[in-house]
């Protein structure tokens, strides 16, 4: 049986530094094809300053203090508090269009459209709108539902709908008010990037139009093959 010889290797570095000996010399590093000038330059280079400036350092534009938007909640008897409603103890005409209810305020020029009108609705002395069981069912309002209401004094109407119907649009709404990415030139169109937005209840969803992650693309490519 022929003897097996190990491949020839270069000369072992002097001093045995590779096995815990002293630091290698410049000659030893040259034999290993290492750039000693680059190593010396790295040792002399001052540490780079770390910029901890947060990306959200720029303050947002001031938002109006007043809003005509209210989040309110039905009670067990179907009474909906409307703190911004300008009228008390009155019967008001209204119309329903899908899941949206429009109440027409006194003095306004608008009126219910033919075929959309409902029975007049009462606002009591405590600014609560009384919604009967049939109308709540038509609006898709569950018991103790949270409702978003908006008062439009220019049009003379009060609009309301279930607040839960807004959740699918919240990702895009929140992302539209975030600060632009750092480094985007003024006036340049920012490229869309996938963003995660926390919704009520701790759920995390990709924003509409976000690119799928590699984990979801890879299985599809395997199935195609």
Alpha-carbon Rg for the chain in angstroms? 35
In terms of DSSP H, where are the helices of the chain? 26-31, 36-44, 133-139, 167-176, 214-224
CA-to-CA separations, 11 to 15, 16, 21, 28, 32, in angstroms, rounded = 12, 11, 16, 10, 10
pLDDT above 70 (res 214): no
The residue-averaged pLDDT of 133-144 equals: 93
In a domain, 54, yes or no: no
In a domain, 24, yes or no: no
From 21-25, 82-86, 91-95, 211-215, the region with the lowest mean pLDDT: 211-215
In a domain, 122, yes or no: yes
Give the 3-state secondary structure of residue 18. helix
pLDDT above 70 (res 116): yes
Give the 3-state secondary structure of residue 188. coil
Give the 3-state secondary structure of residue 90. strand
Q: Record the pTM.
A: 0.56
In a domain, 133, yes or no: yes
pLDDT at 140: 94
Q: Percent of the chain having pLDDT more than 70?
A: 54
In the sheet with 90-92, reading across from the earlier edge strand, the strands are 79-81, 128-130, 121-123, 90-92
Confidence bin at 3 (pLDDT 50/70/90): low
pLDDT above 80 (res 129): yes
- For the chain, give the mean pLDDT: 74
Range of the domain at 73: 69-164
- Residue 159 is part of a domain; what is its CATH number? 3.40.1550.20
Confidence bin at 201 (pLDDT 50/70/90): very low
pLDDT above 70 (res 148): yes
From 39-53, 75-89, 140-154, 210-224, the region with the lowest mean pLDDT: 210-224
pLDDT at 73: 94
pLDDT above 60 (res 63): yes
From 4-18, 106-120, 207-221, the region with the lowest mean pLDDT: 207-221
> How many structural domains does the chain have?
1
In a domain, 74, yes or no: yes
Confidence bin at 64 (pLDDT 50/70/90): confident
In a domain, 99, yes or no: yes
The residue-averaged pLDDT of 47-67 equals: 71
In a domain, 158, yes or no: yes
CB atoms within 10 A of CB 152: 14
In a domain, 102, yes or no: yes
């Amino acid at each position: 049986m022929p003897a097996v010889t190990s491949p020839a290797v270069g000369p072992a570095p002097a001093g045995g530094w590779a096995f815990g000996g002293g630091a290698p010399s410049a000659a030893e590093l040259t034999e290993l094809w290492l750039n000693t000038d680059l190593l010396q330059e790295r040792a002399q280079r001052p540490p780079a300053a770390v910029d901890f400036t947060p990306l959200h350092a720029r303050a947002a534009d001031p938002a109006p203090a007043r809003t005509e938007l209210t989040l309110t909640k039905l009670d067990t008897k179907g009474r909906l508090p409307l703190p911004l409603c300008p009228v008390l103890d009155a019967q008001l005409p209204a119309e329903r269009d899908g899941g949206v209810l429009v109440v027409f305020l006194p003095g306004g020029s608008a009126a219910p459209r033919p075929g959309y009108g409902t029975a007049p609705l009462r606002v009591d002395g405590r600014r609560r709108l009384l919604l009967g069981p049939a109308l709540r069912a038509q609006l898709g309002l569950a018991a103790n539902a949270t409702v978003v209401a908006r008062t439009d004094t220019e049009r003379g109407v009060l609009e309301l709908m279930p607040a839960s119907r807004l959740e699918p649009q919240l990702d895009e709404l929140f992302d539209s008010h975030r600060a632009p990415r750092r480094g985007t030139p003024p006036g340049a169109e920012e490229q869309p990037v996938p963003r995660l937005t926390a919704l009520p209840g701790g759920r995390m969803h990709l924003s509409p139009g976000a690119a799928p992650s590699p984990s979801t693309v890879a299985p599809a490519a395997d199935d195609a093959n």
